[in-house]
Amino acid sequence: MRFLWSFFIMTLRQPDAAARSILLRQWPREAIWTGLLLAVVLNALFYALLNLWFPLVGQLALLTLSTGSYIVASLLFSLGFTALLGFCGRWLGGSGAFLPLLSLMVWLQFVQLALQMILILVMLLSPLIGGLLSLLSNVFVFFVLLNFVNEAHGFASLWRALAVVLMAAIVTLFAMTFIVGLVGPTFFGLPEHV
């Protein structure tokens, strides 16, 4: 547990070194896929707990996903976004492969989950400070993502990593919109007429 904590701190302080450390290890496929499923399930449990503690009211309550729907959507998003990070990065001259990128994304999900748990505790003490720290942590996680993509593709500039992340995010947004339109609103718990 102490190793995980020190690696978590290293990820926050030196995301490029943490990415290199993850990429240098030859992770078995089973470990990467198990880590992804664990991260998705833990995020879903955290999402369910947040809905219990801070339920959405009124028309916003329609946006609440069931736990199963959240797991499926999160898994599809993680796989699609990682694949697009690889494709867009190679299109811009990078060398990142899918599984190494996925191992980085899995660790990033664990880091983000730990930050969210810390932020919930801060929000319970002071909602204003918690909201501000939440905004700052999102910006910081984005910076860590840029460093991870930069290291995975072997770029020499965070600007190229930013271009990769923006392209992948735009394509993912369109793809998720298309999938939601195909699958239908009932799968996500929305009323038929939406």
Query: Over the stretch 87-128, which tens digit does the pLDDT of each residue have?
Result: 999 998 888 889 999 999 999 999 999 998 888 888 888 888
Q: For residue 66, give the amino acid letter.
A: S
Residue 132's H or E segment, with its range, is helix 127-153
- Alpha helices by DSSP H, listed for 64-97, are 67-91
Phi, psi for 139 (deg, rounded to 5): -65, -40
Question: How far is residue 16 from each of residues 9, 23, 78, 114, measured CA to CA in Å?
Answer: 13, 10, 21, 19
Reading the block at residue 190, the tokens are 């929305």
Average pLDDT over residues 22-49: 89
**Burial class (CB within 10 angstroms; exposed 0-12, middle 13-18, buried 19+) of 161:** buried
| Whole-model pTM over 0.75 | yes
**Burial class (CB within 10 angstroms; exposed 0-12, middle 13-18, buried 19+) of 36:** buried
Which is nearest to 117 in space by CA: 167, 55, 45? 45
Please enumerate in sequence order all residues whose Cβ is within 8 A of that of 42, keeping only pairs 6 or more positions apart, or say none: 110, 113
The pLDDT of residue 76 is 87
Reading the block at residue 21, the tokens are 């450390």
Q: For residue 93, give the amino acid letter.
A: G
On whether the CB atoms of residues 148 and 82 are closer than 8 A, the answer is: no
Q: What pLDDT digit, counting tens, does each position of 143-165 carry?
A: 999 999 999 999 988 999 999 99
Measured N-to-C along each axis, helices 98-125 and 2-13 cross at an angle, to the nearest 10 degrees, of 90
The pLDDT of residue 193 is 55
Q: Is residue 33 helix, strand or coil? A: helix
Q: Is the pLDDT of residue 59 over 50?
A: no
- The rounded distance, in Å, linking the Cα atoms of 127 and 28 is 42
On whether the CB atoms of residues 85 and 168 are closer than 8 A, the answer is: yes
- The rounded distance, in Å, linking the Cα atoms of 40 and 82 is 14
